[in-house]
Structure 1
Amino acid sequence: MTLGFVLLVHTAFDRAEQVARYFALNDCPVVIHVDGKVRQRTFRDFRARFKDEPKIRFCRRSRVEWGKWSLVRATQVASERLLSLFPDVRHVFLASGSCLPLRPVAELRDYLSTHSETDFIESVTTDQVTWTVDGLEAERFTLRFPFSWRKNRRLFDFYVRFQRRIGLTRRIPEGVSPHLGSQWWCLTRRTLESILQAPDRVQIDAYFSRVWIPDESYFQSLARRFSTTIESRSLTLSKFDIQGKPHIFYDDHQPLLERSDCFVARKIWPRADRLYQTFLDDTRPQARRSEPNPGKIDRVFSKANERRGQGRRGLYSQARFPAPGLENGLTCARYNVFSGLEDLFEDFQPWLARRLGGRVHGHLYHPDRAQFAGGETVMNGCISDSASLRDYRPEQFLTNLMWSTRGERQSFFFGPNDRPEIGPFMARDPNATLVIVTGAWAVPLHTSNAEFEEVKAEAARLQRAELAFLRELRLPGTAARLHLWNLADFIAQPVEKIQNFMQEITGPSPQRLTELPPMRDLSGFPAFLQKLRNAGMKPQVMGDFDGR
């Protein structure tokens, strides 16, 4: 039995030449179709390389465009020429210039000899298709697609919506059962000739010329019409990512390709020298082969697609900057945010650092600069303390800090005097633990020596900012772990409340908290709040200090 190959080539001509010569040396005739968009001089030079090779021929060229009928037409022309020039061919294998045989051609020929009447072509009905990505399934057969999806996307989408709105549909020709599948097939001569010489081919071709992506449906549907035995699978290993684009195989994929036991793979990177040297060498030691089974490596590609779609938790980059709601976690690690405690206790930051470990920063969103722990001006990952850089993308400042310091728990302070844009992000982040004592910002104002009018104006400003932050925390979708008290409730039992959130952060401890940093002097604080009320500013977030 003779096996023939049809090669569709549009680029990487040196690699296509290697593969074509490999097939010819193994007594397999090859017909090459070169895309009509390739310059005539390039085509002539490429064709001239095979002038002394009788088993490699070329066919009439046509300009090929993705998703259009031209790709099917190119396959038809090349197949007709192969069948007419080489009458002893019994199976035709369709491949591209970026395909690479993974097993010796002799093994493929022997395999096809034991399946002499079998057509290997993925062919499934439209109601069984689950691999279409951002595309049409049944409608590709009932609507018209005169516009290019790649070149005229707006016209394409408009015409699809227009046809749906007015109920315009096409009649599927009699005897055609719509099927879909991989473009890459291996058909028997009898089936392929039946498709190409069908009495109603003119009508069939006219119909499929307006089907969307006909290279995935023309041969797949007509093989069901003429074939006696179909194996609904491709002998070519071809994997796709979540966007429907083919995975590209590189040199380090060699063990993966060998494990698949497939006969051919696409799409191979043109500079994968090791792959071409290895798989085009029939003298290499052959492992024990089994039935071609791409499923052996499906787990690897599933994990790759999952990583490609979801990314790593909390990692943002130029290559993957997801739209809101599509993030795989807002940040990569747990962190703590404290609000008000540094105003209520003296030297609270060093005390907290001793208790928690990790890094305890100051106010990372202070208007003047990011107050990194230890007075640092640059953190891991070259993250600067510059306020202007931070405020350009305040959310990414935090996510980058968490990613660059992963493995080390981060804590920082946040208050109504800080830049507020980060507030909604922290509220939505399940990695955030927010410990908030509302109204504690009034304690430093109480002990300040500023003019009372200035104090009142500042108190009003800070209260507005804190109320806005509290409203964000009450919105649906809040996922942060929240410990929230007003000032009056907190100072009633400070040890118990600090014990509670410390146990959540560090884990249960058999020892109770006994030592706290000294609390600031609150004598006269209720009178200060009353003075604010008398002056027309109503304290709302401090709690009830009446009678204290």
Structure 2
Amino acid sequence: MMRRDVRLGVILLCHDRLDVAARMARIWVEGGARVAIHVDAKTSARAVARLQADLADLPGVVHSRRHPCDWGRFSLVRATQDAARLLLDSHPDVTHVYLASGSCLPLRPVRDLAAYLAQDPACDHIESVSALDVGWTVGGLNEERFTLFYPVDWRKRRWLFDRLVDWQRRLGIRRRLPRGLTPHLGSQWWCLTAATLRAILDDPRRAEFDRFFRLSWIPDESYFQTLARRHAIRIESHSLTLAKFDHDGRPYLLYDDHALMLEESRCFVARKVWPRAAHLLAHFPRPAGAVPDPAPPQPQRIERLINRTVRRRLLGRPGLYMQSRFPRKDAENGKTSAAYAVFQGFSDIFPDFEGWLAERLDADVHGHLLGPETVEFAGRPAIGPGAISSSTLIRDRDPHGFLTALIRITARMQVFQFSPRDNQALNWFMATDPNAHIHVVTGAWMLPLLESDMPFDDIRRITAHLQRAEIAQLDVLNSVWVKARVHVHELTDFLARPQEMLVQSLQHLPLRGGAMGDMPRMRDLHGLAELLRRLRNSGLRPRLSGDAIPLPEISLPERTAAE
């Protein structure tokens, strides 16, 4: 049977925007609650006088003695204690006390909250988690809050604060907890029964506990959370106030466009409302129904959305650098945003490979995006996807940004050709990118030299340069840090089984129709064996073409012989 004798008292802790705080106090009083207001002593007397004048017509409001309050200091606990004492003494019929701030917005009618509390009148609703068991805090300390001394303000004297913590750790200083006290942590916004709150305020050992917490860190998140465990009959370890914090421990502000999510959350109170959120302030609390609704809060959806927002802010989107996080090497949320493929040596073996591949893949197939003369976008436009220029000067100022931007702004998979002739700045980047599919035929860069009319000395010099570049690249691809899918074939192995190797290279890519079809036209390899022999005899050892199969015995596809 639901009891209806709950009388709610509310403590409002205020320090700025007292016009908003006055509005919140009026909502509470008009909903049937009694209110005690504490205003930070650092707030101007004129603003306080205006607040008192605005609320003068409300008989259920009392104003407690003012204390100068600082974040993370015991002054916030002292202000709460005094306001609670005044509230309980002024209104002895109060059965439950709700702690809120002047920027906490009631979302549902106050009588809905009273009806919810009346379902279990002896239950205290306060988040209270053992500091010794669960390290849940954001941007702070857990058990060291209680075992070290914190005599200075963290925000005002940060350097001295950190030095004192360091010094105490080195000296092994460890405060002794009061006998029988197990430290707990939780949200500072709670709802306690009047009986529990009176027991905390009238505890015979209160002076001892106050002395201990006075030198603890952020005691407003541990004082009542710890002492409630000594006096409460039954605790629901949750806060009835929807308050979410970012990774630095700062509360999120609620704006007008959060109205629908807040309404769906069914929470009783939300913190912290932007003072200029006019629609939000006008929309809540929702009108009372014919009968009070004791349904519990359901904050899971909005909490999931906020948690996703936190992850997005911290990690960013894959392959996208954000202003909210400084780019750090190997700390990216994915180097690129989608899978892409790199083919090295294939266009040297098959002159028409780019066009042939474009007909068979459901992807954007480019030429040498990192080529030395121009960026070879598919179709060779001067301006590529997303208005990316084909200028190599622009590309080479930020090759990483060039590649990640191209992959991010295009809907389809990106495929491009690569060679030792190209810019090698992205070798490590692509090798350590799980999205990369890299297919290499080593030594294939030698084949276009067969058709050149250059003197042999120039061919030898170019061969030496390209071989050094490819050897350096293979050292990267063979390292233990590789995360890309890498397939490396020697030239002679590939030429011995070209169709099998092509099938293997394309099996993880989006084929149109699911089949590879005919082989592309292969380059005329006449003179390759002689070129390799001349290079060896000139003192240059071709290390990447392979020697498992004698080149004169390589059997070419019938289509190539016919052509």
TM-score (norm 1): 0.89
Q: Does 1:30 align with 2:3?
A: no
Aligned residues, how many? Answer: 546
Return the offset for 1:59.
3.5
1:533 and 1:152 mapped to 2: Cα distance? 72
Name the counterpart of 1:420.
424
Name the counterpart of 1:525.
528
Partners of 1:122 and 1:234 within 8 A in 2: yes
Q: Does 1:479 align with 2:483?
A: yes
Match of 1:412, SS state, is: strand
Return the offset for 1:513.
3.6
Structure 1 stretch displaced more, 388-397 or 462-471: 388-397
- Aligned residue runs from structure 1 range 246-261, under 5 A: 246-261=251-266
Name the counterpart of 2:545.
542
Name the counterpart of 1:237.
242
* Partner amino acid, structure 2, of 1:463: Q
Name the counterpart of 2:510.
506
Q: Deviations over 1:69-114 (max 9, x none)?
A: 2322332233233334444433221101221112211222344445
Structure 1 stretch displaced more, 188-197 or 96-105: 188-197
1:484 and 1:287 mapped to 2: Cα distance? 71
* Partner amino acid, structure 1, of 2:402: F
Return the offset for 1:546.
5.4
Structure 1 stretch displaced more, 505-514 or 384-393: 505-514
Is the alpha carbon distance of 1:367 and 1:111 closer, same or farther for their aligned partners in structure 2, counting shifts above 3 Å? same
Name the counterpart of 2:215.
210
* Partner amino acid, structure 2, of 1:529: L
Structure 1 stretch displaced more, 482-491 or 270-279: 270-279
Match of 1:171, SS state, is: coil
Name the counterpart of 2:559.
none
Is the alpha carbon distance of 1:481 and 1:287 closer, same or farther for their aligned partners in structure 2, counting shifts above 3 Å? farther
1:249 and 1:186 mapped to 2: Cα distance? 22
* Partner amino acid, structure 2, of 1:484: V
Q: Deviations over 1:284-341 (max 9, x none)?
A: 7889542334446554445444544444433332234564444443322221111112
Structure 1 stretch displaced more, 460-469 or 239-248: 239-248
Return the offset for 1:51.
4.2
Q: Does 1:431 align with 2:409?
A: no
Picking from 136, 145, 148, the partner of 1:140 is 145
Return the offset for 1:140.
1.6
1:511 and 1:282 mapped to 2: Cα distance? 64
Partners of 2:112 and 2:294 within 8 A in 1: no
Match of 2:192, SS state, is: strand
1:287 and 1:381 mapped to 2: Cα distance? 56
* Partner amino acid, structure 2, of 1:216: E
Q: Deviations over 1:391-423 (max 9, x none)?
A: 3432232222111003x1211112212222211
Is the alpha carbon distance of 1:511 and 1:102 closer, same or farther for their aligned partners in structure 2, counting shifts above 3 Å? closer
- Aligned residue runs from structure 1 range 125-524, under 5 A: 125-153=130-158, 155-282=160-287, 289-295=294-300, 298-320=303-325, 323-406=328-411, 408-507=412-511, 513-519=517-523, 521-524=524-527
Identity of aligned residues (%): 47
Partners of 2:126 and 2:187 within 8 A in 1: yes
1:65 and 1:301 mapped to 2: Cα distance? 27
Name the counterpart of 1:119.
124
Is the alpha carbon distance of 1:474 and 1:262 closer, same or farther for their aligned partners in structure 2, counting shifts above 3 Å? same
1:341 and 1:85 mapped to 2: Cα distance? 87
Structure 1 stretch displaced more, 75-84 or 491-500: 75-84
Name the counterpart of 2:76.
71
Is the alpha carbon distance of 1:474 and 1:49 closer, same or farther for their aligned partners in structure 2, counting shifts above 3 Å? same
Name the counterpart of 2:105.
100
1:84 and 1:388 mapped to 2: Cα distance? 77
Return the offset for 1:359.
1.6
Is the alpha carbon distance of 1:230 and 1:357 closer, same or farther for their aligned partners in structure 2, counting shifts above 3 Å? closer
Is the alpha carbon distance of 1:142 and 1:432 closer, same or farther for their aligned partners in structure 2, counting shifts above 3 Å? same
Match of 2:406, SS state, is: helix
Return the offset for 1:5.
1.4
Structure 1 stretch displaced more, 314-323 or 87-96: 314-323
1:492 and 1:71 mapped to 2: Cα distance? 80
Structure 1 stretch displaced more, 238-247 or 506-515: 506-515
Is the alpha carbon distance of 1:410 and 1:296 closer, same or farther for their aligned partners in structure 2, counting shifts above 3 Å? closer
Return the offset for 1:529.
2.6
2:211 and 2:349 mapped to 1: Cα distance? 81
Return the offset for 1:471.
0.8
Return the offset for 1:426.
1.1
Partners of 1:261 and 1:289 within 8 A in 2: no
Is the alpha carbon distance of 1:538 and 1:10 closer, same or farther for their aligned partners in structure 2, counting shifts above 3 Å? farther
Match of 2:341, SS state, is: strand
Is the alpha carbon distance of 1:95 and 1:139 closer, same or farther for their aligned partners in structure 2, counting shifts above 3 Å? same
Q: Deviations over 1:23-55 (max 9, x none)?
A: 122342323333345455545544443344443
TM-score (norm 2): 0.87
Is the alpha carbon distance of 1:154 and 1:443 closer, same or farther for their aligned partners in structure 2, counting shifts above 3 Å? farther
2:155 and 2:464 mapped to 1: Cα distance? 57
1:386 and 1:50 mapped to 2: Cα distance? 69
Structure 1 stretch displaced more, 524-533 or 239-248: 239-248
1:460 and 1:296 mapped to 2: Cα distance? 62
Picking from 58, 61, 82, the partner of 1:56 is 61
Is the alpha carbon distance of 1:151 and 1:415 closer, same or farther for their aligned partners in structure 2, counting shifts above 3 Å? farther
Return the offset for 1:509.
6.8
Partners of 1:495 and 1:513 within 8 A in 2: no
1:383 and 1:10 mapped to 2: Cα distance? 52
1:26 and 1:358 mapped to 2: Cα distance? 62
2:471 and 2:158 mapped to 1: Cα distance? 47
1:23 and 1:510 mapped to 2: Cα distance? 67
Is the alpha carbon distance of 1:3 and 1:312 closer, same or farther for their aligned partners in structure 2, counting shifts above 3 Å? same
* Partner amino acid, structure 2, of 1:488: T
Partners of 2:337 and 2:407 within 8 A in 1: yes
Partners of 1:430 and 1:480 within 8 A in 2: yes
1:456 and 1:213 mapped to 2: Cα distance? 73
Structure 1 stretch displaced more, 124-133 or 203-212: 124-133
Partners of 2:363 and 2:510 within 8 A in 1: no
Is the alpha carbon distance of 1:12 and 1:401 closer, same or farther for their aligned partners in structure 2, counting shifts above 3 Å? farther
Return the offset for 1:220.
0.8
